[in-house]
Structure 1
């Protein structure tokens, strides 16, 4: 079902805002997914890559606001990529409770 939902959203976006090229990256904010559907981005688009995500993408995670998203990006810039998802707890302010809430929705890439 998620495939059809995202296909419809991408189609409507390309119809109203111009066409998308194959492989072009589209963020949830660009297509208004979080505002229009109320469905968590990570449940429709897949996991958020904490090594590549923008502040807006990180902000879609439960318990991660604008400030914490900025902290994640700063940590990443100063220390390099996260090796495993548990490493996000090295960011000040992200403890076990927050990690438990987001661990199913994040990845460090493949």
Structure 2
């Protein structure tokens, strides 16, 4: 009986060691470049991943890979949360993020300067975002009525995020001519 108990103890210790190794490996970031890039995926980023550059008053500014449905609150959390002196009311934490966006977290008293068009990241961009717009926002576009707005939303729900403005061509009823009239008025 002593040998059987020893075998059970060894097998139990082995199982615990393997289990701890698997558990620890599951949550570790795969990549970290200069301490400013991190990914949550164990291999390639998910299909609907967003790359967001978080700057300003956060604990760890940098480039983060987030889920496709991430919001500002998720980007701030990925960057370690607000730093001391952050203007926590300076952002809409519920706003959905866009791929390639730069999210700047202001400090209390910071005077914001208008962003260049390529740095807007959707915050001050007057164009309608195809991935976040509701039916009312889409309906306000020229040549888009309530029915077409609903078809755009249905396409988005069935196929995921728009990856380019040209994806509008896949929406029933939108052709080349309509796409050209919308091209400068929409973004992804």
Alignment TM-score > 0.5, same fold? yes
Residue 23 (structure 1) shift: 3.8
Deviation at 1:45, TM superposition (A): 6.3
- Determine if the alignment matches structure 1 residue 66 to structure 2 residue 66: no
Q: Aligned partners of 2:125 and 2:165: how far apart in 1?
A: 18
Find the counterpart in structure 2 of residue 82 from structure 1: 162
Structure 1, gaps ≥5 residues long = 1-20, 26-43
For 1:23 and 1:55, locate their aligned partners in 2 and report how far apart those are by CA, in whole Å: 24
What is the CA–CA distance in structure 1 between the aligned matches of 2:153 and 2:90, rounded to whole Å? 28
Q: TM-score, normalised by structure 2?
A: 0.35
Q: Please, what TM-score do these two structures have when normalized by structure 1?
A: 0.58
Q: Which has the higher strand share?
A: 2
Pairing 1:105–2:185 present = yes
- Runs (4+) of structure 1 exceeding 4 A deviation are none
Higher relative contact order (CA 8 A, sep 6+): 1
Partner of 1:96: 176
TM superposition shift of 1:89: 1.0
Residue ranges of structure 2 left out of the alignment (5+ in a row): 1-88, 95-123
